[in-house]
Structure 1
Amino acid sequence: MVSFLDCSVATTICFVLIGIGIPVFLILLFLPAWYGRYADTRKHYFGSIPAKVAWILQECPSFLVPFVSILLHLEEAKAHYVSVICLAFYVFHYLYRSFIYPFRLRNGKNTPTEIFVMAVVFCLLNGYIQTVYHLVPCTTRSVSWLYDPRFILGAIVFVVGMGINWNADAILRRLREDNSSGYKIPHGGMFEYVSGANYFGECVEWIGYAVLTWDLAGFTFAFFTIANIGPRAIQHHNWYKNTFGSEYPANRKALIPFLL
């Protein structure tokens, strides 16, 4: 395996991302990331990028890094096909997120260049650690792993989370069918229970991935995802309540049904 796919480097990146995730979580609890509905909350010194273009370019490294690496190292991929099957869950998600989801966006606000750059850096690093951990691989897996309860449970949780996420995305898109730019109260699916149904689905999805991979790279991604979008779900919840007042369903939680 070529030297740039190195387990020690990938492991170091994992711990760095985990370390960064803690202050990111704390900061985002009080300061919303300035994209989407919060894009106008601060001045953009470096301009902004159209939403569809930003989504494609910032997300595609998470797909291209593992996909191209597999193509370049087919023999290693065949030798470690069980780990590559685990990686396939990740690759499939980002195939959708990079090249299908952006073209379904309606009236998305421009992405500040600073946010775009940070997203690209994260997707490159995350694509790298997932690729190394499952193509080198850093964790040896035999075919019996595909029958392990952790893999089976994780795969089920992943698919359920992905379904929740896709359904929530579809509900949000339908709110913009009239091409309006204003915000409305979403109804249906997990939105009946939480304000951040799309974020809840994504958190569930990557928790499932962490379980089915059962390695540091999977845990790192799940941890950083929750640290990043968990606070955003809370901010969305507060925004909905402040914007719509008594019209907003009082029984909805922010991220976790019935709890938070």
Structure 2
Amino acid sequence: MVFSVVVKFIHPAAASLVVTAISGISFLSMSNAGYMEIKGKHIKYSKMWSQADEEQSKIPSKRGMFIAYTPAFLAGFASLFLLRHGDFRFTLLRFCVATHFFKRLLEVVFIHKYSGWMDTQAAITISLSYCLSAATLIYAQYLTLGLPEPEFDLKYVGVLLFLVGICGNFYHHYLLSKLRSEGEKQYKIPRGGLFNKVICPHYLFEIVGFLGISCISQTLYSYSLASGTSFYLVGRSYATRKWYESKFHEDFPKDVKALVPYIF
């Protein structure tokens, strides 16, 4: 019964063992990464990563994040010109993939303020992961061309969710960038927007954006990527709130949740 309902929302794509395998691996790896965040094992690029005892090769965080996002953007951007044929859904997906990573690059260059370092291996690993995700999203959609559409068409709902997600994410990244003036390195408790309700509203809107992409695509891979990303950001937001509590103690407002206002 449940399966018969679920298939109404999924594109009946051509069989591909590669895409199916990547879908499962993506979901499991992202979910595990979220669990590791909760356990205190953080990816080596954030404020929660203790860099004092690390001997690995490190690069400035700004350069590391630029490396992380560039290949995925190029994959999405190139697909708009190299894969000219296709339906409206295929065009929408490629445009959203390219836009998502272009926005991230713009934020790296013009919005975010970086004060730390990033493990070089982590930068390369993240870069390969993002690039594989972008390419697989596009390839999985390519396999649907010429096949029947899903019984329930969610692409316009997806466009709305994507726009809400990318705008909300950008706005809260902008608020974060204004916390510290030029030259300041100390961390502060974020204020304004949904920061008054949750410590990671930028993660909440990123989840909304990925849900939008999955609704535009409606492939097994897009759903698995959105689900895995959501699980990871749930763990990440939990760890972030815990970090702020430990750093600011009594000054951290207890009614501010991790990700979802009033709930979590």
Q: Answer yes or no: same fold by TM over 0.5.
A: yes
Aligned counterpart for 2:44 among listed residues 31, 34, 38: 34
| One-letter amino acid matched to 2:70 | C
Are 1:237 and 2:205 an aligned pair? no
Match in the other structure for 1:3: none
Are 1:68 and 2:100 an aligned pair? no
Are 1:13 and 2:22 an aligned pair? yes
Match in the other structure for 1:89: 96
Are 1:162 and 2:166 an aligned pair? yes
| One-letter amino acid matched to 1:64 | L
Relative to structure 1, is the Cα distance of residues 221 and 187 closer, same or farther in structure 2, using a 3 angstrom cutoff? same
Instruction: Give the CA deviation at 1:112.
Output: 0.9
RMSD: 2.3
Aligned equivalents of 2:123, 2:53: Cα separation in 1:
15
Aligned equivalents of 1:226, 1:139: Cα separation in 2:
27
Match in the other structure for 1:137: 143
Aligned equivalents of 2:202, 2:61: Cα separation in 1:
18
Contact conserved, 1:107 with 1:179, CA < 8 A, in 2?
no
| One-letter amino acid matched to 1:20 | S
Relative to structure 1, is the Cα distance of residues 216 and 256 closer, same or farther in structure 2, using a 3 angstrom cutoff? same
Match in the other structure for 2:4: none
Instruction: Give the CA deviation at 1:41.
Output: 4.9
Instruction: Give the CA deviation at 1:239.
Output: 1.4
Q: Deviations over 1:57-96 (max 9, x none)?
A: 111121111322332232xxx3334312123112111111
Match in the other structure for 2:126: 119
Contact conserved, 2:34 with 2:236, CA < 8 A, in 1?
no
Instruction: Give the CA deviation at 1:165.
Output: 0.7
| One-letter amino acid matched to 1:14 | S
Identify the structure with the greater helix proportion: 1
| One-letter amino acid matched to 2:143 | P
Aligned counterpart for 2:67 among listed residues 46, 57, 63: 57
TM score, norm. by length of structure 2: 0.84
Tell me how many residue pairs correspond in the alignment: 247
Contact conserved, 1:55 with 1:102, CA < 8 A, in 2?
yes
Instruction: Give the CA deviation at 1:139.
Output: 5.6
Contact conserved, 1:165 with 1:198, CA < 8 A, in 2?
yes
Stretches of structure 2 lacking an aligned partner (at least 5 in a row): 1-14
Aligned equivalents of 1:82, 1:208: Cα separation in 2:
12
Aligned equivalents of 1:50, 1:41: Cα separation in 2:
12
Alignment partner of 1:257: what SS?
coil
| One-letter amino acid matched to 1:101 | E
